[in-house]
Amino acid sequence: MARSRVKLWIVAFLLPALLVVGAVSYLAWRQRVPGVHAQFSPAPKYLGLKTPLTLDLRAARGGVQSVEIRVAQGASRVPLAQQSFSGTPANEQRVQLTVGGRELGLREGAATIEVRARDGYWRPIGTDEQVILSVPVTIDLTPPSLEVLAATRYIHQGGGGLAAMRAKGAARLGVKVGEEFFPAFPVGDPEGGLATALFAIPWNLPANLPVNASAEDEAGNAITRPVPAEMKPRRFPTDTIELTERFLVSKVSELLPERGQIPPDQLLAGFLTVNRDKRREAELAKRQLGGRTQPRPLWEGAFVQPRNTKVFSNFAETRSYRYNGKEVDTQVHLGYDLASVKHSPAPAANSGVVVFAAPLTIYGNTVVVDHGLGLQTLYGHLSSIAVKDGEAVKKGQELGRTGTTGLAVGDHLHFEVLINGISVTPVEWWDGRWIRDHVGLPLREANIPLLQSEFPAPESQSEPATPARKRRLARAR
C-alpha cells in the first residue's frame, strides 16, 4: 500500500512538475537564442545631401524576414527604409540605400540612426519592436567650399595638366575628367586648404569633355567647379605588326607558363589571351600602382630620354596584328618604344621611389618609379632589374638593362609616363619649357610654393626654340 501511495504521489505531483520545469526551460532557451545582428559597413558618422549606407544583417536562426531603418532626432522618427525579404529567408541579408538628407526634413545637428529587424524564429516574447542597432550621426547638409585658383590652360588629348585649388571641409578632393578621378594633394598649412592635382586627358576621350574640380565631404555633400582648360584634339598613329609562328612559340609559352607546352593549333588563341587578358591585367596593375604615390613632387626639371635612343613606336599607336595574312587583333600601344644597342642601360627619367620591380605580364621585367603627386614612369621589357621596391633613385640612375621580356619584338625599352595610372605622352615631360608652362605656371599663379625651379623664367632666360625642341613639340601635337 505504501509503495502504491508513493507511485501515485510521483504521478500526481512530480511528473507534472518536471514537465513544467522542462517546458519553462525550453521556452527560456528559445527566448535566449540571439535575434538579428546588424552592422553598417562602414559605420556612418554623417548624413548629408547624398549619403550611401550599407547595412549587413545576420540571423542566428530562422532567417532575416524584415528590417526597418529610421532616423531619430528629438521627437521625430523619419523612416529611411522598410523591407521584407520574401521566399525562403536567408540568415544573411544586405541592404544598400542612398539617403537624401534634405528630403528628410531634419535640421542640421545631432541625430541617431535606429535599426529594427525580425527573424523567422519563434520566441515566447516577441522582440520585433526592439532597436537592435543605434548609431549616432550628424546631419550635415552644407557642401564643402571649393575654389579653382589656377590650372593648365591648354591640354591635348593624351596629355596632362595641373589644377591648383582651395577647399575647406573636403574629405575627397581632386579633378574629374569624365569618369576618371585624379586625387588632389594638400600643400602647406592644412587650415589654408590649398591643394594641387595632376590630371590626364586619356587618349581615347573626346577633347571637349568637361574637366571639373570636385570636393566631397564625409557626409557625401559634393560640389564641382569647372577647370578653365582648353582641350585640343590630337591625331594618333597606326601600325601593323606581322606575327610569325616563331614569335608565337616563344612568347605564348613565356607569358602563359601555366599551360605548359602549347600545341601549334592553339598558339594563336594563346596569343589573343595574352594580348587581351594579360594586357588588361597590366592596365589594372598600373591603376593600382598609381595609388602608391608620395603627396609631394620628387622630381626636378625635365625628364630625360635615355641617351642614343630612337623612338620607333609611338604613344597611343593603334596596332593591327596580322597572322597568315589575316587581321587577328587590334590593340593600342600606350608608351614609347626606345631602340638602342642590345642590353643598354635603362636610366630613371627623374628622381623618385621605386614602387614596382618585377615581371608584369606583357611588359615583362618592369620597373615603375613614383615621382610624387600621382606622376610615375614605367620601364618595360628589361633583361635585368638593378633596383628593388621601395628604393629611392636619382635622375639618370640605372634601373636595369633593355631586353626582350614580355610581348617584345626585339631588344628595346618600353617607356611610359603615367598620371594616377593613366598613360600620357612622354614627350611633354621630356620638355623643360612644357613643364614650366603647364605645371609650374599654374603653381606660381596660385602662389603655391612647389617646384620653384619649374616656374617660368624671364623671357631673356627662357629655353631657346632649338630644332630638337621644335621636333619634340611637333610630335606632341
What pLDDT shows up at residue 451?
76
- Rounded to an integer, the average pLDDT of 373-401 is 98
Is residue 424 within 8 Å of 375, Cβ to Cβ?
Answer: no
- Within 8 A by CB and 6+ apart from 158, the residues are 201, 202, 203, 234, 236, 315, 316, 423, 424, 425
Q: How far apart are CA 253 and CA 383, in angstroms?
A: 17
Q: How far apart are CA 240 and CA 330, in angstroms?
A: 9
Q: Which of 37-46, 189-198, 389-398, 450-459 has the lowest mean pLDDT?
A: 450-459
Q: How far apart are CA 70 and CA 82, in angstroms?
A: 9
List, for residues 95-154, the tens digit of each pLDDT value. 999 988 888 888 899 999 999 988 877 676 766 668 889 999 999 999 999 999 999 999
Find the farthest-apart pair of alpha carbons in the chain and give their distance in angstroms, rounded: 130
Better-scored residue on pLDDT, 466 or 140: 140
What pLDDT shows up at residue 121?
73
Is residue 151 within 8 Å of 161, Cβ to Cβ?
Answer: yes
Q: Is 263 exposed, middle or buried (0-12, 13-18, 19+ CB in 10 A)?
A: exposed
Q: Is the pLDDT of residue 331 over 90?
A: yes
What pLDDT shows up at residue 360?
97
Average model confidence (pLDDT) across the chain: 88
Q: Which of 79-93, 147-161, 209-223, 336-350 has the lowest mean pLDDT?
A: 79-93
Topology classification of domain 238-431: Glucose Permease (Domain IIA) (2.70.70)
pLDDT band at 220 (very low <50, low <70, confident <90, very high): confident
Q: Does domain 145-232 have CATH number 3.40.710.10?
A: no
Name the grid cell of 140: 550635415
The single-letter code of the amino acid at 39 is Q
Within 10 angstroms of residue 436's Cβ, the number of other Cβ atoms is: 22
- Rounded to an integer, the average pLDDT of 65-93 is 88
- Within 8 A by CB and 6+ apart from 126, the residues are none
Topology classification of domain 36-139: Immunoglobulin-like (2.60.40)
What pLDDT shows up at residue 166?
97
Q: How far apart are CA 467 and CA 477, in angstroms?
A: 16
Is residue 112 within 8 Å of 73, Cβ to Cβ?
Answer: yes
Please indicate whether the domains covering 36-139 and 145-232 agree at the CATH topology level.
yes
What pLDDT shows up at residue 14?
66
* DSSP codes of every residue in 206-253: -TT--EEEEEE-TT--EEEEE---EEE-----EEEEEE-HHHHHHHHH
Task: Compute the C-alpha angle 356/357/360, nearest 5°.
Answer: 85
Q: Which of 33-42, 173-182, 437-446 has the lowest mean pLDDT?
A: 33-42
Q: How far apart are CA 219 and CA 234, in angstroms?
A: 40
What pLDDT shows up at residue 30?
62
Q: How far apart are CA 272 and CA 251, in angstroms?
A: 11
Burial letters for 326-335: b for 16+ Cβ neighbours within 10 Å, e otherwise?
eeebebebbb
List, for residues 165-206, the tens digit of each pLDDT value. 999 999 999 999 999 999 999 998 888 899 999 999 999 988
What pLDDT shows up at residue 208?
79
For the chain, the domains span 1-32, 36-139, 145-232, 238-431
